[in-house]
Chain A
Amino acid sequence: MSVTLTKSKPGALEEVPLIKGNQTFRSITEKISEITERKTALTWVLLFSLAASVALLFFAQIGYLFWEGIGIWGLQNPVGWGWAIVNFVFWVGIGHAGTLISAVLFLFRQKWRTSINRFAEAMTIFAVIVALVFPGIHVGRVWVAYFMFPLPNQMQMWPNFRSPLLWDIFAVGTYFTVSLMFWYTGLIPDLATLRDRAKTRLRKITMGILALGWRGGNKQWKHYEMAYLLLAGLSTPLVLSVHSVVSTDFATSIIPGWHTTIFPPYFVAGAIFSGFAMVLTLAIIARKAYGLENIITIQHFEKMNKIIMVTGMMVGYAYGMEFFIAWYSGNEYEKFAFINRAFGPYAWAYWIMITCNVLIPQLYWSKKMRTSVPVMFTISIFVNIGMWFERFVITVTSLANDYLPSSWDYYSPTIFDIGLLIGSFGLFFSLFLLFIRFLPMISMAEVKGVLPQADPHHYEGEAHHG
């Protein structure tokens, strides 16, 4: 029909550049280092004061919790697990996107990850720090929290290694440590850049120590690249294993609605889904605030939106499959648990979850929606809300209406439950603001490595091949 067809060759699609604006190695260094070197902006000070105040509120409430006990929360029979667990699972889940971007996409040679991996990894670390607070304070008697670790003690007791709660300590503890090491390994060459640009004595000394004397010699890069590959390889199973272990906290119990084999993959998909939404929320703000439009392009966002859409549909499939299995199992309690989720006292929470996680991301079928910054910002917030509610629905509905109707009750949070959730965001944003102020938020060495002029073949036309 169309004559223009003759002009385009199939398979000759033009490659969209990863980094825009004809960047040079120098311009990348300038753009990213300058953010950490300039004078502190007033907006940053105001935002940090706000975040730090909320974080202070978080610690104050934890202090009161230690003094008074976990009775200050809305927990009662039969709901013995409330918002603390919901918040824990929510924050651990957020972290998974960072590891997926830094490790899995590295192994799959997705070069576009270089623009976003640094702060996605930072987000992982801060989210896991916040997550780890919750089980820590939930134990009630924090002074005996060391019971959880396999430490020789005067009672000659050892932990029960068959318990998923213990697996959790190892899984999340390992996850945090490995993420931190991976992040630091990636930072070393960039810290050396900051060291070499440092003007003040304080900066020279701190950056000098942190960069460990990096010289960028190929004899160093050789081991460095191997270490990076190994850390990526070691982090990749963690993307799948950590949230699988978290899901076994629920799945190995016999509570209707929890005792299902779909939980590990379902939790992992949900974790990546929520994590990408959080990366997107943060990236949109940082990109705008620091003018990074050429480095974090709309193509990056579109790719992330596609992942959000895919994982969102996986989560939607899991919601549907849970219902199917509840019916197919023929188990009365299981059936009741799910009908009760959708139409019982917590139906409002269930439908918030479905709307935010399953319905709203369907807008991404349209390329226009996938590439519109205001739309994706709004959707990312909805996904964050929806994924918090997912954990709320799983935790609370199954406990509130379990076997015996005489023991049922309706769980409501107290002011301290709500305060700790808000406070946790304060801690998260305080750490994140410190990061973007003092460390390079985009990996300079890796972005330079994906520029066309980084490839020796780029120069072939002008040199010996002639």
Chain B
Amino acid sequence: MVKQKPEGMIAEFENPAALLRAAEKMRAAGFSSFDCHSPFPIHGMDRAMGEKRSPLGWIVAVVAFLGFSAGMGLEWWSSSVAYPLVISGKPFFSYQAFGPVAFAVMVLSSALTALIGMLALNKLPLFNHPVFNSDNFRRATDDAFFISILADDPKYDEQATRNFLSEIGGQNIEQLLETTEMKEGA
């Protein structure tokens, strides 16, 4: 026995400009749980969809500050508290000479935050998503442009959404179905 559950809908658009215009209309119609998929980032799409700027820059800025402090702190503590040793007559806390290492720790921690933070904000890795149920959607990483709407959107309604997508120029409109194989007697 096969059980199918609707999870959302995708529609294909002809080119980046069509996708951009469609995104504006989706937003104007009040959809919230939709996304515009393209093989490369499209200039102006954030504004068309009403997306806020990514907060990643601020997160990395905080980590950069903490990273520099941690690097300098380690150098201060290890050379003046844990293992004080006079080297070339320099002070225990030779902050001038400690710059390069503190800088390296700052860059390293910030870069790690940029990558891990990007993945976390994007909720990746995520290997199972409704859009992957569509075979046509594979072209989203090649040369096709899609809008996806998930069924959890308050405005989502199977027939009305399908009509609306078709109205704003969507082609190959496809319902995303989660297919679960039920075992006999289960």
Contacts and interface: CB of A to CB of B under 8 A. Distances in A.
Please name the 10 residue pairs, one residue from A and one from B, whose CB atoms are nearest each other, closest first: A227-B118, A25-B143, A217-B35, A459-B17, A158-B78, A170-B104, A196-B138, A212-B125, A226-B54, A449-B40
A231 B113 CA distance: 10
Interface stretch (B1-9, B95-103, B155-163, B177-185): B95-103
A208 B132 CA distance: 11
Contact of A162 (B43, B82, B90, B141): B90
A331 interface: no
Interface of A: 24-26, 29, 150, 156-162, 164, 166-167, 170-171, 173-174, 177-178, 181-182, 184-185, 189, 192-193, 195-197, 208-209, 212-227, 230-231, 234-235, 237-238, 241, 245, 248, 444-446, 448-449, 453-460, 463-464
10 contacts: A162-B90, A174-B104, A177-B108, A178-B107, A181-B115, A184-B115, A216-B38, A216-B141, A220-B122, A221-B41
Interface of B: 15-18, 20-21, 23, 35-46, 49, 51, 53-54, 56-57, 60, 74-75, 78-79, 82-83, 85, 87-88, 90, 94, 97-98, 100-101, 103-105, 107-108, 110-112, 114-115, 117-119, 121-122, 124-129, 131-132, 138-143, 148
Contacts of B75: 161
Given A223-B121, A230-B60, A160 B87 contact: yes
Contacts of A454: 16, 40, 42
B57 A218 contact: no
Nearest to A191: B141
B83 A158 contact: yes
B111 A181 contact: yes
Given A174-B104, A227-B56, A456-B42, A162 B94 contact: yes
Nearest to B78: A158
A185 B37 contact: no
Contacts, number: 215
B14 to A, nearest CB: 9
A319 to B, nearest CB: 26
Given A156-B82, A234-B114, A241-B100, A215 B140 contact: yes
Residue in A166, A178, A446, A463 whose Cβ sees the most chain B Cβ within 10 Å: A178
B83 A213 contact: no
A224 B119 CA distance: 8
Given A174-B104, A223-B56, A245-B100, A231 B142 contact: no
Given A160-B87, A162-B87, A216-B141, A459 B119 contact: no
B57 A456 contact: no
A216 B111 contact: no
Contacts of B20: 456
A218 B97 contact: no
A104 to B, nearest CB: 15
Contacts of A197: 138, 142
A231 B44 contact: no
B140 A216 contact: yes
Contacts of A178: 107-108, 111
